[in-house]
Amino acid sequence: MIMHSLKYHLEQAVKNKVAIGHFNISNIEGLWAVFNAAKALNLPVIVGTSEKERDFIGLKQSVALIRSLREEFDYPIFLNADHTYSFEKVKEAVDAGYDAVIYDGAEQPLEENIKITRQCVEYARSKNPNIVVEGELGYKGTSSQVLDSIPKGVELDKEYLTSVEEAARFVKETGVDLLAPAIGNFHGMLSSGHDPALNIDVAREVAEAAGIPLVLHGASGNSAEDIKASIDAGVSIVHVSTELRVAFRKSLEETLAANPKEVATYKILGPSVEAVQKVVTDKLKIFNER
């Protein structure tokens, strides 16, 4: 895999009707799992850190870790400031050297969402012309947990999903590179392991109206068929987080139960890296089927 900019790899994903995998991490174990999976499949990959994940790892430390892998292996691994809820926090990520940023104004009134998103776009591009900026339109919840029911406030009826008119206006007035719409997706995943079907018709209509690549958030729990259909409809980046957390925790619990006296951290956490890597591998294969 030849190292190019994130914008280049995004253009290739659009051209080839595939999607770049976006996987959230909160520690170096998760980072190695994501990187090893992508490298083994020879695919570009995006690592995401939300506000709380950035607080846990460290803002500048996150940038340094990704750059170290990119430089050592000459590999297209990129860092995204996922789910950022204020201009000030977007500015922090841009200044720290993130490759991409998201302003999440999904809970804000449309006018306010447009206003702040535009401010984020203008600032980001003034500092780094190659940065990729994403906006969100349509509430998808904020949890990254295993849920017994659809998150409060999330509506899956078509009338509540992102509209063609709002998508077109949002993109025109903000200038974002990517749009994360509500198409029946939500953050977290149901305990059944199967989330409701995505509305592919809405995804296709919004993609055509927006004229830019879409991002599927909250893909944990969505079926492979739904994900592939969404990619065909215009999705070029797919986010997965909760499934990684579930795999990490399950493996850790099993390792501790089987080795109650083990205290070497690398021995305890090694199987969890492998478990997360398997999930990432499986997802990347789905995202890149043609």
So which residues are the catalytic ones? 82
Contacts of 207 (CB under 8 A, 6+ apart): 213, 214, 233, 234, 235
Q: What is the separation of C-alpha 187 from the centre of its chain, rounded to a whole number of angstroms?
A: 11
Distances (CA, A) of 223 to 31, 108, 241: 24, 29, 15
CA angle at 24 for the pair 19 and 28, rounded to the nearest 5°: 125
**Residue 216, beta-bridge partner list:** 238
- C-alpha 9 chain-centroid distance: 15
**Rounded (5°) CA angle 116-177-277:** 105
Per-position b or e across 118-152, b if 16+ CB within 10 A of its CB: bebbebbeeebeebbbbbbbbbbbbbbebbeeebe
Q: In angstroms, rounded to a whole number, what is the distance separating the alpha carbons of residues 17 and 41?
A: 17
Coil/strand/helix, residue 13: helix
